[in-house]
Chains A and B, each alone.
Chain A
Amino acid sequence: MRHLLTTKHLSRDAAIQILDVAEDMADVANREVKKLPALRGKTVVNLFFEDSTRTRISFEAAAKRLSADVINFSAKGSSVSKGESLKDTAQTLAAMGADAVVIRHQSSGAPQVLAESGWIDAPIVNAGDGTHEHPTQALLDAFTMRRRLYNGQSRGRDLDGVGVVIVGDILHSRVARSNLWLLETLGAHVTFVAPATLVPLGAETWPVAISYDLDATLAAEKPDVVMMLRIQSERMNAAFFPNAREYSREWGLDDVRFAALPTDTIVMHPGPMNRGLEISAAAADSAQSTVLEQVTNGVSIRMAALYLLLSGDREALL
């Protein structure tokens, strides 16, 4: 694996390899010494052009557990706010000896530009770009599903036949896109549920069922997994729905809808949650909710991704 930019081109075997390595990484968290020496002497740069707490901290924890050195770079308060271009930033990082770059950017495709431009010869990990992709989130979601569904027997397994309903702001959601490509590769079938205004143009050509009615979908599909997406108020610059209460009533996982779900349905949310808007507190805090597991698993998945990207002879991958 040379870069991790998207889940779209990840093969089934490559995806399962990442998930399996993450199982081994997860075991490290239960040991006395929660650290592995695998990336000793490597420098991982977290290049964050967009606000993020959990993803940045998760990547930082992952790199540190593998004994890598971490440099955090956020656009606010850096030379980017003075107008430095991505090219100059990348070349500066290369000159400092960055061995891997984890990038989050508000523009879709920025990580790919970094990977293909030749400005820096290091593995690039996409930590979320615009409305495009967020591959490590999809991997940690698949990892969480696999662990819950197969209880400790998850190594080597795919998600064949698993039904996943993803609800909410599909239009702006890189999480939904990355999840769709990965889940499809792993054999799950995905349904998007959203107000028509929040379904992206062209989504009908994707390998996904699209519905506008949450109650009908939950009743018909009987999904194994219900994934609620955050209503991204920072991107709600147009009137996508009349108001928050109406959204919550039609597309939120409220107490009534949650109570109607079978007790083995997994409830997921990538966080941060808007409690009371897309998910009720009862649903978020229930035993069916994997919200905190997703955070824990995120570190394991990112350890696996960094390990697979940074070990081995890079020339051999060309």
Chain B
Amino acid sequence: MARVVLSQADMQRALTRIAHEILESNKGAADLVILGIPTRGVYLAQRIAAIIQRIEPEATATVPGSGSAMVGALDATMYRDDLSRGRTRTPSPTQIPSGGVDGKTVVLVDDVLYSGRTIRAALDALNDIGRPRVVRLAVLIDRGHRELPIRADFVGKNLPTSTDERINVRLAELDGVEEVSIENRAAEHPEADTARGPGTSTSAPSTSEATS
């Protein structure tokens, strides 16, 4: 049975805190670009951007086109290190705000930080799009088990896990409910897809955590 670790209210509070921390470290909303990593990172990025606009309306109002000028999506599928393994991955759209990323503070947003391989791929993808002044990383859940020297700057919740466990991030836009739960897939799904190693937690919705 999946155990709920973050409720809707907990998630909202975590995202609000992350938004405040981003503004604090960036000393305002100037030159801020928030890029979500598909699939769920994109929705989380949109929420963080909306909270930032609520906190600092005068700073963000100067940006033409309001919300869409600050937030976007960065797909890292084509930069993954496991493309020749497992099933074929379908890329998702990349959407960069019209101002570009050159000289900006880019905050990458993902739902779960696990091996760090997705973030490595995202950094490479970002490198081909432009040259940000700094790149930061915000994640809703940090579950440990890093395989690369990558660390999040803004964390919603640190959740120590075993590799047998699985983190399900459910968002209203995709899944109808809003919660983060943890389940032991070794106990419940002995036949579970073994190809799903670390770093695959942001795959396409068709194979998302929510379908299990």
Interface residue B164 (Cβ < 8 Å from any Cβ of A): no
Which listed residue, B86, B89, B124, touches A37 by the CB 8 Å rule?
B124
Which listed residue, B75, B86, B130, touches A313 by the CB 8 Å rule?
B86
Which listed residue, A21, A35, A313, touches B128 by the CB 8 Å rule?
A35
Categorize the interface residue count of chain B.
20 to 34
Residues of A within 8 A of B124 (CB): 37
Interface residue A110 (Cβ < 8 Å from any Cβ of B): no
For window 109-168 of B, CB contacts with A under 8 Å fall at: 124, 127-130
- Give A31-56 as 1s and 0s: 1 = Cβ < 8 Å from B's Cβ atoms: 11101111000000000000000000
- Give A51-85 as 1s and 0s: 1 = Cβ < 8 Å from B's Cβ atoms: 00000000000000010000000000000000000
For window 6-54 of B, CB contacts with A under 8 Å fall at: none
- Give B74-96 as 1s and 0s: 1 = Cβ < 8 Å from A's Cβ atoms: 01001100011111111111100
CB nearest to B92 among chain A residues: A24
State A308–B129 Cα separation when bound (angstroms).
23
Which listed residue, B83, B93, B128, touches A33 by the CB 8 Å rule?
B128
- Give B94 Cβ to nearest chain A Cβ, in Å: 6
Given contacts A32-B130, A37-B78, contact A155 B89 (CB under 8 A): no
User: Quick check: A23 and B86 within 8 Å, CB to CB?
Assistant: no
**Tally of A-B residue pairs with Cβ under 8 A?**
53
Given contacts A24-B75, A31-B129, A38-B78, contact A312 B88 (CB under 8 A): yes
Given contacts A36-B78, A37-B78, contact A31 B128 (CB under 8 A): yes
Which listed residue, B75, B83, B92, B128, touches A312 by the CB 8 Å rule?
B83
- Give A277-318 as 1s and 0s: 1 = Cβ < 8 Å from B's Cβ atoms: 000000000000000000000000000000110111100100
Residues of A within 8 A of B79 (CB): 36-38
- Give B103 Cβ to nearest chain A Cβ, in Å: 14
- Of residues B79, B91, B124, B128, which shows the largest number of chain A Cβ atoms within 10 Å of its Cβ? B91
User: Quick check: B90 and A17 within 8 Å, CB to CB?
Assistant: yes
User: Quick check: B90 and A20 within 8 Å, CB to CB?
Assistant: yes
User: Quick check: B87 and A27 within 8 Å, CB to CB?
Assistant: no
User: Quick check: A312 and B84 within 8 Å, CB to CB?
Assistant: yes
CB nearest to A24 among chain B residues: B91
Residues of A within 8 A of B90 (CB): 17, 20-21
User: Quick check: A24 and B94 within 8 Å, CB to CB?
Assistant: yes
Given contacts A23-B93, A27-B93, contact A308 B75 (CB under 8 A): no
- Give B13 Cβ to nearest chain A Cβ, in Å: 34
- Give A154 Cβ to nearest chain B Cβ, in Å: 12
State A1–B87 Cα separation when bound (angstroms).
11
User: Quick check: A313 and B94 within 8 Å, CB to CB?
Assistant: no
Residues of A within 8 A of B84 (CB): 310-313
- Give A307 Cβ to nearest chain B Cβ, in Å: 8
State A165–B87 Cα separation when bound (angstroms).
38
CB nearest to B102 among chain A residues: A32
User: Quick check: B91 and A312 within 8 Å, CB to CB?
Assistant: no
- Give A3-41 as 1s and 0s: 1 = Cβ < 8 Å from B's Cβ atoms: 000000000000001001101100100011101111000
Residues of A within 8 A of B129 (CB): 31-33
User: Quick check: A32 and B83 within 8 Å, CB to CB?
Assistant: no
Which listed residue, A24, A35, A316, touches B87 by the CB 8 Å rule?
A316
Which listed residue, B75, B89, B94, B127, touches A311 by the CB 8 Å rule?
B89
- Give A43 Cβ to nearest chain B Cβ, in Å: 13
For window 140-178 of A, CB contacts with B under 8 Å fall at: 155
User: Quick check: A24 and B88 within 8 Å, CB to CB?
Assistant: no
User: Quick check: A311 and B83 within 8 Å, CB to CB?
Assistant: yes
Known: A66-B78, A312-B89. 7 other contacts (CB 8 A): A24-B75, A35-B128, A36-B128, A38-B79, A310-B84, A313-B86, A316-B87
11 CB contacts below 8 A, A to B, read A23-B93, A24-B91, A24-B92, A27-B93, A33-B127, A36-B128, A38-B83, A311-B89, A312-B84, A312-B85, A316-B86
Q: Which 8 A-B pairs have the closest CB atoms?
A: A312-B88, A33-B128, A38-B78, A36-B78, A311-B83, A24-B91, A311-B88, A312-B87
Residues on A facing B (Cβ under 8 Å) = 1, 17, 20-21, 23-24, 27, 31-33, 35-38, 66, 155, 307-308, 310-313, 316
